[in-house]
Structures are given as structure tokens and as C-alpha cells.
A and B are shown apart, each in its own frame.
Chain A
Amino acid sequence: MATTNPPSTDTLDARLSGLDALELELRPPRRRSARIWSHVWPKALAAAIFLAFWQVVVWTGWRPSYLLPGPEPVFHTLYSSFGSLMDAARTTLGRAVVGFGLAVVLGTLLGAAVARSRILRAAFGSLITGLQTMPSIAWFPLAILLFRLTNGAIIFVVVLGAAPSIANGLISGIDTIPPLWLRAGHVQGARGLGMLRYVVLPAALPTFVAGLKQGWAFAWRSLLAGELLVQIPGATSLGERLEFAREFSQPTSLIAVMIVILVIGILVDELVFGTAERAIRRRYGLVDEAD
């Protein structure tokens, strides 16, 4: 293996950089404004179509306008009672954050425990999926018995609604790691905790975040159901405002509250989870850069 005339590195160098230059795709990045616009306009169009449809239904006179008001009076109410609606939204979002936070902790611990062992997975895997499909409103009678009409009852149901999705996201994230990655980790010297920290957890991250996103959707739904059923004196929440508007036959404020609920759901989904998911997907090379 004596080093007799190794290949001239100058030409090898030139050849490699030539190949590198030719193999890399050249695609000019799109401007940021163009990218944002391409995300915004389809959503704006969808909202416009929805509003138009709503207005048309009102114009047909299918229900009298004191039961089904059009967009214009609803947005007027939304505007005039914006302050108190935001107060209610704060109460509701506060519960959502607490409930979802607990669900993340519980779901992650549960998912990590179950994913580690084949026996636990066989035992609890289908149970977790079963819990996920169970309508959260079915938990309320039990929650009210256990916690009475308190904040605790609502949080209890929110956690039970969201935790299974989060646990499932982590479990399937760990289950679907390509075996090659584990082998590659092993030959690089990763064992036990090192393997978990540097290979398993990052590899499971995209699926885990998808689970968080789904967990949030369940949490938000359970929470609103809870606020309709469990009314706590003193605290005005979005759910209570809905119930109140129905009892006093105020369809404009009822629909205004619904719009607030919808918009918060969309905003959190898009801004928090959508952004995280897109960032991860881009980082992991799971999206076409042109998107």
C-alpha cells in the first residue's frame, strides 16, 4: 500500500467541485411576499365564499332574520362587544393552555412508556386509540361527579381528550423510524440515552408534532363542550356566552361568539402548529422548496 503517485488532487478537486456544481439544482428562491400571498389568498377566497353563501341563505328567507341574522349585523355585534368577547376568550384560552399543557406532559410520558416496550404497546396501544375515538362529551357526567361543577371538571375532560392523540403521535413517531437510522446510530456509537436523544427523539419529532396538533384540536373541542355544560359562577367564558345568547335569543351575539371560537381555532392551528410543522418539514427535507 506504499503511496506511489496518488492521483493528482488538483484534478480530483476540480472534478469533484465540477460534479457538485452540476448536480445541485439551481432554483431561485421565491420572494417572501410572494410566498405569503400564495398562502393567504386561497384562505381569503374561502372566507369570501362562505360569507356570500351565508348572505344568500339569509336572503332566501329560509328562517326569519331574528333567528338567522346576516353577516352584517353579526359583524356589527362582534365589533361593538369586542372587549367583553376578548375577556371571555381569555378565560377560555387560559383553560385551554392549562389543559393542553397537562395533556402534553401526560401524553408524552404515556407515549414514551408505551413506545419503549412491546408488551406495553400490545396492552395499551389499542386502548389509547380507543380513548382517542371516544367523544369527549361522554366523559362529562363522570367528570362532574368527580369534580362537581368546577374548573377541574373541564380541565379533566380537556386532558383526556387531548392526551391520547399526543401519546399516539409519539408512539407512531417512534414506531416508524427507519431501521437503517437505528443501525446508523449504532455504528456511530449511540446506545441507550444517547440513542434516544440523538436518534430516536429527533426522528420521531415530525410525527410527534402532528400528534400535538391533533391533540390541540381535541382539546379545543372538549373545552367548548365543557364550557357549555359546566358553568362556573363569576367567570365568563366563550362557552357560557354561547349558552347565554341562546337562552336570551340573541342570535347575532351567538354567531359572533361562534366566529370568535372558529377564528381562535384556526389561528392557533395555523400560527402555532402549522408554523412548527412547516419549519420541521422544511428542515427535514419533507417539502418541495418551492412551496
Chain B
Amino acid sequence: MTRLHAVAPPAVDGRTAAEGAAPAPLGAVRVEGVSKVYGDSASAVRALDHLDLDVSPGGFVCVLGASGCGKSTLLSLVAGLDRASSGRITVDGRASLMFQDAALFPWLTAARAVELPLRLDGMRRAERRDRARELLELVHLGDFADKRPHELSGGMRQRVALARALGQRTDVLLMDEPFGALDAMTRDTLHDEVERIWQASGKSVLFVTHNVREAVRLGDRVVLLSSRPGRVIAEFPVPIPRPRRIDSPDVATLAATITDQLRAEVSRHGDH
């Protein structure tokens, strides 16, 4: 507890939270009737079809779906990397995006990687140095500030990417299967880490995954998408109190229910 409060409040957007007080919730996302079509009329691929989705300020929504449900497309659209074919996306504030690959630049040390968005935002050198140090402390990488990506493990690289995304003056954190390529033990630890940091920051999170238990472990709400085209087929509130464990019976029970629906959705695309 003490450590959390010693480090987290100044590090997250400079907001100072008094002991025990929850930060103001931020960053609503509203996706209304969004479709995304790739290619021309004849050979067009419909990735998303009239998708509706809401993330409340400070909320944690997990989007779950099998292959081809357009999960990554959805995040690209919300992040502004791509344009929707139709429909409307409203982001209250700005969004930062974390990829499945840490996407760190090999020529930058961990500290410089975290500084880059701050630098692009025009923050002064001394300020962004301090800020980067705080952010790396926040993800427990204070001792690795001078290491380059190839000197870090996969889990550590993702934490640098997390620190980088958190440092941006954004209100929404978009996460595109950020822990998909990590081993179970590391992933489990990073779930605790993300939950802790999210609670301390007040940012809202839109988290995309194909791992049902991960979705239940992390989300306030789990949104299930269909595949080809992607459309919301079910939503599940997750009433399990935090902190959660991925191997708790409550998580397992809800995950089983969701998995059954997901299986039904996947078999719809087979021959039978």
C-alpha cells in the first residue's frame, strides 16, 4: 500500500490523489453504428458491422472475440490510425494505444522510449526526464532505464510500453492483446500491475483479447464480438470484486459461460 501511494499519484498525469481518495474518472469512448469495409465493392471484406460500444469514464471494458472479429480494427479506429467506413466514434479526451508487440524502437533506451511521446508533446527536457523516471518506477523498471529493448525480456518490454502509454496525456488507454505473446506467469503478474495502475490513474481502458479468462480477470464488462463481420453479440457485466485472481472459481465460472457462447459463434463458421 505505502509503496503504491508513494509512487503512483505524481506519476500519473501529475494528478495528486490524497491518501485513499480515488482519482477522477476520465475518458469515455462511444462507438455508434461503426462499420469498416476493406477493399472495393466486389471483393470487399466487412471487418466491422454496425458495432455499438460504450466505455464509461474510468471504466475497464474487455472486447473478446475469435479470429476475424475485427478487434484490432476497432482499436485502430478508436486510436485514429484508420477511418471508419460509416458510423461515429467519440473519444472524450485523447487515446494512447498499446500493441501486442511492445513496438519499442531498438535505438532508444527504456527511459528515452518513455520520454519520446512527452518530447513530441513539447515537454521540456528536465521535466520529461523526471517524468520518465517516475513512470519506469511505476512499472518497477527503475533499475532498467538505460537498457535497450534487446536487453530486456518480453514482459519487461511490455511494461516499458505500458509506462510509455501511461505517460501520454491521454484519458483512454487502448490495449491490443498486449500480453498475448507472454508466458502465463508473466501475464498473470502484469494483470495485477495493470489493475493497480488503472485504479490509481482513473483512465478508462478498452482492452482487446482472445483470452476469455483474461477478459474476465480484468474487465468491468466483457463484450463478445462475432466474427466476419464483427458485431456485438453479447455483453457480460463482471460483478466479481477486485483484486481478482485469474484462477479463482468466480472468474472460472463466468469464463465458462462466455466460452460456451464463443464456441457457438466459432462453430457457426464451420461446414456443419
Contact = CB atoms under 8 A, between A and B. Distances in A.
Instruction: Tell me if A's interface is mostly helix, strand, loop or mixed.
Output: helix
Contact of B156 (A20, A187, A198, A284): A20
B103 A12 contact: no
20 contacts: A1-B58, A1-B59, A3-B22, A3-B199, A4-B241, A6-B4, A7-B196, A9-B4, A12-B189, A13-B140, A16-B140, A23-B153, A24-B151, A184-B99, A188-B120, A188-B164, A189-B121, A284-B107, A285-B149, A285-B150
Contacts of A225: none
Contacts of B193: 12, 16
B189 A187 contact: no
A148 interface: no
A199 B119 CA distance: 13
Contact of B120 (A3, A198, A203, A284): A198
Nearest to B104: A184
A19 B185 contact: yes
Nearest to B112: A198
B60 A16 contact: no
Contacts of B120: 188-190, 194, 198
Interface in A234-291: 283-286
A5 interface: yes
B148 A20 contact: no
A125 to B, nearest CB: 26
A186 interface: yes
A205 to B, nearest CB: 7
A283 B195 contact: no
Interface of B: 1, 3-4, 20, 22, 25, 58-60, 79, 81, 96-97, 99, 101, 103, 105-107, 116-117, 119-121, 140, 144, 148-156, 164, 168, 185-186, 189, 192-193, 195-196, 198-200, 220, 241-243
Nearest to A194: B120
Most chain A CB inside 10 Å of its own CB: which residue of B59, B97, B140, B153: B140
Contact of B199 (A6, A23, A283): A6
B100 to A, nearest CB: 10
Q: Closest 5 A-B residue pairs measured CB to CB?
A: A285-B150, A23-B153, A184-B103, A188-B117, A187-B97
A123 B100 CA distance: 37
Nearest to A16: B140
A35 B168 CA distance: 42
Given A13-B3, A20-B153, A23-B155, A5 B189 contact: no
Given A1-B25, A1-B199, A15 B189 contact: yes
A65 interface: no
Contacts of A12: 189, 192-193, 196
B174 to A, nearest CB: 8
A194 to B, nearest CB: 5
Contacts of B4: 6, 9
Given A4-B242, A187-B96, A188-B116, A17 B140 contact: yes
A17 B193 CA distance: 13
